[in-house]
Structure 1
Amino acid sequence: MKRYIKNIAVLIIASLGLFACEDVIDVEVQTGQIRLVIEASLDWEKGTLGNNQTIKLSTSTPYFETANNTAVTNATVMVTNLDTNEVFNFVNQNDGTYTTDVFVPVENNQYQLEVVYNNETYIATETLMPVPDINDVNQSVDGGIDPDLLEVNIYFDDPADEDNFYLIRYYEEGDLFPYFEDYSDEFSNGNEVHDFFEKQEDEDNDQAEFQPGDSVDISLYGISERYYNYMRILIEQYYSGGNPFSSNGVQLKGNCVNATNQANYPYGYFRATQVVKTSYTFQ
């Protein structure tokens, strides 16, 4: 019994010694320059007029800062169709969003975004790319990485004799994030394209495998080559996060430039796309 008590005493003293050696270390994290963030996606859903569009402006924040309101409410936003010279003014909603209900989307026309903020003018141009229809959507269990998991399949015809680029978005309600894929027709030009999406369990993102009765929303975008290259790098960096064998991430710049002060460049991208949307419920 005495030896037991003695051992307990030694453990307590050792533990106190460990706690006494703890020091709080404050690490000063460098803060980058605050920049304008432009979220400008003119998405024309196939089968609609595409008149209603929204552009969101905010400012960047330090990595650990979550309390600040970063909405930009004192900017001027307009989009011009460079083929027709038609101008679309976006109305300030005083919450960081700028909207219009008179936008006219035209396939293969070039559009220019102009944002005036803090006496500086930001410019970006993009061509509105068309998108083919989705031919079929079905499910299977034998085409994915895990032969026991359900996957959703989509099929669409790629136009022949031209270079085409696509962005595919999959989302099940309740998931923390959607899943994106970029696709080039380099090796499938003029053929029917097949793409599939299989979800694996991910506790960190509160994501579960597909089960019968689950419904997934699917969006297929026709995009420009420049936007494809941008998204390809962005997707690669996002999904390789935490991988010890992945390459180092790089600061990714979009197509928006500061025409007044080139060094004060913004974050974000101005895209103009046609999109076809559908959904599928697993059986």
Structure 2
Amino acid sequence: MYRSLIFIALSLIFSSCEDVIDVDVNTAEPRLVIEASLDWEKGTTGSEQTIKLSMSSPYFSTDTDTSVTGALVTVTNMNNNTIFSFTDENNGTYSINNFEPIIGDTYQLTVVYNGETYQATETLIASTSIKEINESIEGGFDDELPEVNIYFDDPIDEENYYLISFYEIGDMFPFFADVSDEFVNGNEVYYFFEKEEDEDTNMSPFEAGDTVEVKLYGISEQYYSFMRLLIEQYYNSGNPFASNAALIKGNCINPTNPENYAFGYFRVTEVDVVSYTFE
């Protein structure tokens, strides 16, 4: 009884000392966000493509509708001057069904919005094919966890850069990996992915019946450098020994007003897509 009274008294004392503190957080002016990934999946025409436009918002903002409508969006093939005009779907997406992807050609994105013009340029990079996909137990970091393995051949006598995406059906986000052929040029490349238990993200190890979708993108050196920094910052967040996060700029510039650049990236890639179901 005596201890209970002390506990109640202390609780009243500390609860009475609680004050609501309002912290002023610096916010930047909203910027245009361009999500323009023109990916040509092997075995398809690549004619259907979508670009998404939105505005950046403060971290604690409760306004969920940041979609941008009323913009003019075009992509120009700089090799043959063909212009592809995207249709405003009035929900922040801009689509097209007659895009013509050509390996090795250079494309320029142009977005005109709110009196400003934004541009980005990329070259369509070919992707090699995933020649084998399987599962194993002992090849990963933990000998008791299953992992998915992929194998592909890197072309010889050229520099190649890849982005690999592993996505288990039902997960919120995929896992990304950036790969260069600097030390494996002309050889077979092997990459694996395993999942550990993580209560914060509701992640659990692979088990029988799980299906994982793997995408292998052929990307430019410029995009490889961008993704390498982005992936490093993302997966090192929360690490007490990690360096402070820095602003990573994409390739979407504003030629007439350089300070008013857009967030995001314009990429043009070929991608090989395979799926595997664990046994």
Q: What is the TM-score normalised by the length of structure 2? A: 0.98
- State the partner residue of 1:76: 72
- State the partner residue of 1:177: 173
Alpha-carbon shift at residue 13 of structure 1 (Å): 2.5
Alpha-carbon shift at residue 70 of structure 1 (Å): 0.4
- The answer to whether the 8 Å contact 1:218/1:277 transfers is yes
Aligned length: 279
Larger radius of gyration: 1
CA distance in 2, matches of 1:254, 1:18: 49
SS in structure 1 opposite 2:225?
helix
- Please, which moves more after superposition, 42-51 or 59-68? 59-68
- State the partner residue of 1:168: 164
Provide structure 2 residue ranges, at least 5 long, that are not aligned to the other structure: none
Alpha-carbon shift at residue 272 of structure 1 (Å): 0.2
- State the partner residue of 2:206: 210
Match of 2:9 among 6, 13, 23: 13
Match of 2:114 among 111, 115, 118: 118
Alpha-carbon shift at residue 66 of structure 1 (Å): 3.0
Pair 1:63-2:59 in alignment:
yes
- The answer to whether the 8 Å contact 1:175/1:205 transfers is no
Pair 1:277-2:250 in alignment:
no
Write the mapping of 1:18-167 to structure 2, written as runs, cut at 5 A: 18-167=14-163
SS in structure 2 opposite 1:257?
coil
CA distance in 2, matches of 1:49, 1:68: 34
Query: Residues 148 and 9 of structure 1: is their aligned pair in 2 closer, same or farther, counting only changes over 3 Å?
Result: closer
Name the amino acid aligned to 2:96.
Answer: T
Alpha-carbon shift at residue 176 of structure 1 (Å): 1.7
CA distance in 1, matches of 2:34, 2:169: 26
CA distance in 2, matches of 1:52, 1:237: 32
1:141-172 CA distance string (max 9 Å, x none): 11100001101111111000000000000001
Alpha-carbon shift at residue 58 of structure 1 (Å): 0.2
CA distance in 1, matches of 2:31, 2:15: 43
- Please, which moves more after superposition, 122-131 or 206-215? 206-215
CA distance in 1, matches of 2:191, 2:22: 48
- Please, which moves more after superposition, 199-208 or 149-158? 199-208
CA distance in 2, matches of 1:241, 1:100: 37
CA distance in 1, matches of 2:4, 2:275: 64
1:35-76 CA distance string (max 9 Å, x none): 000000000001111000000000000001132410000100
Name the amino acid aligned to 1:39.
Answer: E
1:159-218 CA distance string (max 9 Å, x none): 000000000000011112100000000000000111111111111111110001111001
CA distance in 1, matches of 2:174, 2:16: 47
Write the mapping of 1:188-267 to structure 2, written as runs, cut at 5 A: 188-267=184-263
SS in structure 2 opposite 1:23?
coil
CA distance in 2, matches of 1:192, 1:10: 70
Provide structure 1 residue ranges, at least 5 long, that are not aligned to the other structure: none
**TM superposition outliers: structure 1 runs of 4+ over 2 Å:** 7-15
RMSD: 1.0
SS in structure 1 opposite 2:133?
strand
Q: Percent identity?
A: 58
CA distance in 2, matches of 1:230, 1:33: 23
Name the amino acid aligned to 1:63.
Answer: Y
Q: What is the TM-score normalised by the length of structure 1? A: 0.96
- The answer to whether the 8 Å contact 1:112/1:123 transfers is yes
- The answer to whether the 8 Å contact 1:171/1:216 transfers is yes
Query: Residues 11 and 197 of structure 1: is their aligned pair in 2 closer, same or farther, counting only changes over 3 Å?
Result: closer
CA distance in 2, matches of 1:141, 1:163: 32
